[in-house]
């Protein structure tokens, strides 16, 4: 029988066994878990805005915003508050109920904390759930962001500990874990996942999920990204990961993180409608909407509406997606 509640004793071997199941058996297990924890036919919409683009001191091999690489991206200053609020209002009008703000920093500087806190307060006042990704955190910063109304802190592990130094060398894996710990101690929810297609092996994908599974409690949001190759970055020539491999990773995440959002994140622009549908049917229940994800393209609103319509899926507000207890369908929610 498939366990439908969180476990914190997953072994790497158990996750590997799941990952290597026949795809139909794997998705069947994933859907059994999903049906006990999440509403049928409901997909949450999030929108992501780059509030500070380019010039990052990190050398993440996948990132167009690194100052180490010539990608043609111009470094920009922190956006004015008014522009952020305008973008948040537009996101809400387009059906998003979660608004994420990303800044290309190695770490959040104390001088920028009040500005970011003001953005969080303003977005929260629009009735949106808030998330930020600002790099590494120092003592006390997470508490200030929490007090401003922040719900989630995004800080991805990217890949397995064994492969990490093939992706970035300006920080180490423990730096990531330390920032996650600071965010959690401040009472923030975590948005933490990884990227597939950076040249890693399947064993590295298993290792990433195992590292996430060791976090207690689990991240409330687990984004699964497909690498979007950026000309000028070291990983621009990486072999493209298959959509079926993406679906496998999503299905395993749904099983291992039964009460977490599993987000089909970057890479949708490179997928066919059928590929996106497979990933959603494998257990993802959240997507990013809007035509940009920080600096890369994303399907536009009409494309997403068409896909959701074909699948019979609808956007659902947070209150329509209960965790545990009695389960709702979209019909119940109406």
Candidate list 171, 248, 263, 268, residue with the active-site label: 263
What confidence tier does 299 reach under pLDDT thresholds 50, 70, 90?
low
Check: CB of residue 5 under 8 Å from CB of residue 259.
yes
Candidate list 63, 192, 253, 279, residue with the active-site label: 63
Candidate list 98, 100, 268, 279, residue with the active-site label: 100
Q: What is the CA radius of gyration of the chain?
A: 19
Q: Is the pLDDT of residue 297 over 60?
A: no
Cα 146 to Cα 62: distance, rounded to the nearest angstrom = 29
- Other Cβ atoms within 10 Å of 1 Cβ, number: 4
3-state secondary structure the chain: CCCCCCCCCCCHHHHHHHHCCCHHHHHHHHHHHHHHHCCECEEEEEEEEEEECCCECCCCCCCCCECCCCCCCCCCCCCCHHHHHHHHHHHHHCCCCEEEEEECCCECCHHHHHHHHHHHHHHHHCCCEEEEECCECCCCHHHHHHHCCCCEEECCCECCCCCHHHCCCCCCHHHHHHHHHHHHHCCCEEECCEEECCCCCHHHHHHHHHHHHCCCCCCCEEEEEECCCCCCCCCCCCCCCCHHHHHHHHHHHHHHCCCCEEEECCCHHHCCHHHHHHHHHCCCCEEEECCEECCEECCCHHHHHHHHHHHCCEECCHHHCCCCCCCCEHHHHC
Q: Would you state the pLDDT for residue 329? A: 40
Q: Is the pLDDT of residue 326 over 70?
A: no
* Average pLDDT value for residue range 166-188: 94
Q: What is the pTM of this model?
A: 0.88
Q: Would you state the pLDDT for residue 199? A: 93
Q: Would you state the pLDDT for residue 94? A: 83
What confidence tier does 312 reach under pLDDT thresholds 50, 70, 90?
confident
Q: Which CATH class is domain 12-310?
A: alpha beta
Active-site residue flag, 191 = yes
Active-site residue flag, 279 = no
Active-site residue flag, 253 = no
The region, left, alpha or beta by phi > 0 then psi within -120 to 50, assigned to residue 98 is beta
Instruction: Report pLDDT digits (tens) over 58-78.
Output: 888 888 877 787 777 777 889
Active-site residue flag, 263 = yes
Candidate list 7, 12, 16, 56, residue with the active-site label: 56
What confidence tier does 143 reach under pLDDT thresholds 50, 70, 90?
very high
What confidence tier does 290 reach under pLDDT thresholds 50, 70, 90?
low
Q: Is the pLDDT of residue 333 over 50?
A: no
Active-site residue flag, 63 = yes
* Average pLDDT value for residue range 295-304: 62
Structure token pair of residue 176: 């990531």
What confidence tier does 156 reach under pLDDT thresholds 50, 70, 90?
very high
CB-count burial class (<10 Å; 0-12, 13-18, 19+) for 71: middle
* Average pLDDT value for residue range 281-291: 82
What confidence tier does 298 reach under pLDDT thresholds 50, 70, 90?
low
Q: Would you state the pLDDT for residue 291? A: 56
Q: Is the pLDDT of residue 327 over 60?
A: no
Candidate list 98, 176, 182, 191, residue with the active-site label: 191
């Amino acid at each position: 029988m498939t366990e439908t509640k969180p476990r914190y004793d997953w072994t790497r071997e158990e996750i590997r066994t799941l990952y290597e199941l026949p795809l139909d058996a794997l998705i069947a297990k994933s859907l059994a878990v999903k049906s006990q924890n999440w509403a049928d036919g409901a997909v949450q919409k999030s929108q992501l805005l780059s509030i500070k683009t380019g010039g990052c001191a990190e050398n993440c091999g996948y990132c167009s915003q690194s100052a180490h690489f010539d990608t043609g991206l111009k470094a920009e200053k922190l956006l004015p508050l008014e522009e952020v609020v305008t973008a948040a209002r537009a996101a809400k009008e387009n059906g998003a109920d979660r608004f994420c703000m990303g800044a290309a920093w190695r770490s959040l500087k104390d001088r920028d904390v009040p500005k970011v806190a003001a953005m969080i307060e303003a977005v929260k006042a629009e009735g949106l759930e808030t998330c930020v990704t600002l790099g590494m955190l120092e003592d006390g910063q997470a508490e200030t962001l929490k007090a401003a109304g922040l719900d989630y802190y995004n800080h991805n592990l990217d890949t397995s500990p064994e492969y990490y130094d093939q992706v970035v060398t300006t920080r180490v894996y423990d730096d990531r874990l330390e920032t996650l710990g600071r965010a959690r101690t401040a009472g923030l929810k975590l948005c933490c996942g990884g990227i597939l297609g950076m040249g890693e092996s399947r064993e590295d994908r298993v290792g990433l999920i195992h590292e996430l599974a060791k976090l207690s409690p689990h991240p409330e949001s687990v984004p699964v990204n497909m690498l979007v190759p950026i000309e000028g970055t070291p990983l621009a020539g990486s072999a493209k990961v298959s959509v079926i491999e993406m679906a496998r990773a999503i299905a395993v995440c749904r099983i291992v993180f039964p009460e977490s959002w599993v987000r089909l994140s970057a890479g949708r622009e490179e997928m066919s409608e059928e590929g996106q549908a497979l990933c959603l049917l494998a257990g993802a229940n959240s997507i990013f909407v809007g035509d940009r994800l920080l600096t890369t393209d994303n399907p536009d609103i009409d494309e997403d509406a068409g896909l959701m319509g074909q699948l019979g899926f609808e956007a659902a507000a947070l209150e329509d997606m209960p965790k545990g207890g009695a389960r709702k369908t979209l019909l119940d929610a109406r």
